[in-house]
């Protein structure tokens, strides 16, 4: 399998494409489907390595799951107390969402589990979930707060009222999933809104939740009833094309059936503040999640100070937003984004290094970046080589930068693109990116 992208400079993006299914919703469809009474049918499932890791973990926990086949998955729920211990460690691969949500869900089970991951995941912090879960009565062993994570058999969790120190949907979800197994009420308050797919999907499975301002609560002991789930296209994957078409002159691209849950649309708001030309067409609701087709045409972008309240709503989109900023007139300043340092890579450091390698003035700060955009119709980036550090979103962000480069860009260590966006190179080529897979 070739492990690098070579992207020729220039070109534009056009036509009509559907990017793969939403990663956050795909993970949750397996988890909640497995815990439900009855059979859950999923369509539009992300057939990427991360969601497949979650699927394989639940198979190891005794759940029968059919597929994926053309985005279709059938989950034969075992009920809230039907999971069985796995004889082997549960491998979450590259997927932080899988591991953090599983830590919550498994800490309520009457058996022991061990969670492992790949090299990147093995270096990511897990105390943010084990700390509140320990307050609920769960017991863990970790390697100084990092995976592998051994979860002891639960001896009775109790509900807590947890004020999250950081805006994290993974932490919120882990505590809520443990709360299903806890005595009494579990409440989580967030310092800023984060994606609410867990809450929406739990409600779809018949669980009663109460949202009161920044706090969401549920009572332990509730059962889930199987339902059908239509997974929209992932706005985080669409983001690469929203930026690519914005920065490449002559582009006019339609992105079909994209999830536009308001806790995920920070990318649209930020790009619009920068002057992007994005139209929402045919807005509709599908299975509890809002969806639309997005038409994007190239437009001159301007640098902005990114409003801090939009940061958690666009947290996965910053790699490609930094590329947009490099193509904007004037300076872009991002603050309040320190969470980027603990993603699949340190996305502040790795993006700043890559931008500098392509001749852009990018100053990393502890919680963001200052980028001096280059105005005008000509190339913004030089050609060159980028090390993606195995981070899927870094690799795809720099692939889009090539649209405004003066020479070809070689992006190394791209195999993990398949964690969230299998077939990225083919779909991007169809839209007009001059991308080829190479060994490097
Ligand atoms: C996710 C939450 C976010 C996001 C990740 C997916 C989720 O992480 O970055 O890609 O599905 O809940 P945090 O909870 O760490 O912000």
Q: Residue 316 sits in a domain of what CATH number?
A: 3.65.10.10
Per-residue confidence (pLDDT) for residue 287, from 0 to 100? 84
Cα–ligand 1 centroid distance for 24 (angstroms)? 8
Place of tokens 């852009």: 360
The answer to whether 388 touches 363, Cβ cutoff 8 Å, is no
218 and 255 housed in the same domain: no
Which of ligand 1's atoms lies nearest the C-alpha of 170?
A: 14
Per-residue pLDDT reduced to its tens digit, 62-87: 999 999 999 999 999 999 999 999 99
The tokens describing 387, both together, are 């090390």
239 and 356 housed in the same domain: yes
Using CB distances shorter than 6 Å, the residues near ligand 1 are: 24, 97, 168-170, 173, 195, 315-316, 339
Q: pLDDT > 90: what percent of the chain? A: 98
Per-residue confidence (pLDDT) for residue 54, from 0 to 100? 98
Q: pLDDT > 70: what percent of the chain? A: 100
257 and 194 housed in the same domain: no
288 and 164 housed in the same domain: no
Per-residue confidence (pLDDT) for residue 11, from 0 to 100? 97
Q: Is the pLDDT of residue 377 over 90?
A: no
246 and 394 housed in the same domain: yes
109 and 174 housed in the same domain: yes
Which of ligand 1's atoms lies nearest the C-alpha of 171?
A: 14
Last residue within a domain, chosen from 230, 254, 288: 230
Per-residue pLDDT reduced to its tens digit, 397-437: 999 999 999 999 999 999 999 999 999 999 999 999 999 99
Last residue within a domain, chosen from 230, 252, 282: 230
- Bridge partners of 188, per DSSP, are 162, 216
Residue 381, φ and ψ in degrees, nearest 5: -110, 145
Per-residue pLDDT reduced to its tens digit, 316-370: 999 999 999 999 999 999 999 999 999 999 999 999 999 999 999 999 999 999 9
161 and 260 housed in the same domain: no
Last residue within a domain, chosen from 230, 252, 286: 230
Lowest-pLDDT range of 247-261, 307-321, 322-336, 370-384: 370-384
239 and 225 housed in the same domain: no
10 and 33 housed in the same domain: no
13 and 141 housed in the same domain: no
Residue nearest to atom 15 of ligand 1 (CA): 168
Instruction: Write down the number of H helices and E strands in the chain.
Output: 14, 25
Positions marked catalytic: 316
How close are the terminal C-alpha atoms of the chain, in Å?
11
- Please classify residue 439 by burial: count the beta carbons closer than 10 Å to its beta carbon, then call 0-12 exposed, 13-18 middle and 19+ buried: exposed
Neighbours of 160 (CB within 10 A): 20
Domains contained in the chain, number: 2
The answer to whether 334 touches 368, Cβ cutoff 8 Å, is yes
pTM of the model: 0.98
216 and 78 housed in the same domain: yes
272 and 401 housed in the same domain: yes
The answer to whether 103 touches 151, Cβ cutoff 8 Å, is yes
- Bridge partners of 394, per DSSP, are none
For residue 423, give its domain range.
4-21+232-438
Band (376; pLDDT cuts 50, 70, 90) = confident
């Amino acid at each position: 399998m070739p492990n690098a992208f070579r992207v020729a400079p220039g070109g534009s993006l056009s036509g009509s494409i559907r990017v793969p299914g939403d990663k956050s919703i795909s993970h949750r469809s397996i988890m909640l489907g497995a815990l439900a009474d009855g059979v859950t049918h999923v369509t539009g499932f992300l057939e990427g390595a991360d969601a497949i890791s979650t699927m394989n973990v639940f198979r190891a926990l005794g759940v029968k799951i059919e597929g994926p086949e053309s985005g279709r998955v059938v989950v034969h729920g075992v009920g809230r107390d039907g999971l069985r211990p796995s004889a082997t460690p549960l491998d979450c691969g590259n997927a932080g969402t899988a591991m953090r949500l599983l830590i919550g869900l498994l800490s309520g089970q009457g058996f022991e589990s061990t969670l492992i991951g790949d090299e990147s995941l093995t270096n990511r912090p897990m105390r943010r979930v084990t700390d509140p879960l320990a307050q609920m009565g769960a017991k863990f062993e970790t390697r100084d707060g990092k995976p592998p994570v051994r979860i002891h058999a639960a001896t009775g969790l109790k509900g807590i009222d947890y004020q999250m120190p950081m805006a994290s949907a993974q932490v919120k979800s882990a505590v809520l999933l443990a709360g299903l197994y806890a005595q009494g009420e579990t409440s989580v308050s967030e310092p800023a809104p984060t994606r609410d797919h867990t809450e929406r999907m739990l409600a779809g499975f018949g669980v009663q939740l109460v949202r009161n301002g920044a706090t969401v609560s549920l009572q332990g002991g509730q059962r889930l009833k199987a339902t059908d789930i239509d997974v929209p296209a992932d706005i985080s994957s669409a983001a690469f094309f929203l930026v690519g078409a914005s920065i490449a002159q002559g582009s006019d691209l339609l992105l079909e059936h994209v999830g536009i849950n308001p806790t995920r649309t920070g990318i649209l708001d930020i790009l619009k503040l920068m002057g992007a030309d994005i139209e929402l067409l045919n807005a509709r609701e599908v299975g509890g999640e809002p969806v639309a087709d997005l038409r994007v045409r190239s437009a001159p972008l301007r640098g902005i100070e990114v409003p801090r309240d939009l940061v958690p709503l666009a947290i996965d989109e910053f790699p490609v937003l930094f590329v947009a900023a490099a193509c904007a007139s004037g300076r872009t300043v991002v603050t309040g984004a320190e969470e980027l340092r603990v993603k699949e890579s340190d996305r502040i450091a790795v993006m700043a290094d890559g931008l500098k390698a392509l001749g852009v003035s990018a100053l990393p700060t502890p919680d963001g970046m200052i980028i001096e955009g280059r105005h005008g119709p000509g190339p913004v980036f030089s050609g060159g080589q980028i090390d993606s550090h195995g981070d899927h979103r870094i690799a795809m962000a720099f692939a889009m930068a090539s649209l405004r480069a003066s020479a070809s860009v070689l992006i190394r260590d791209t195999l993990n693109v398949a964690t969230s966006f299998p077939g990225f190179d083919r779909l991007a080529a169809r839209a007009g990116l001059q991308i080829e897979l190479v060994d490097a």
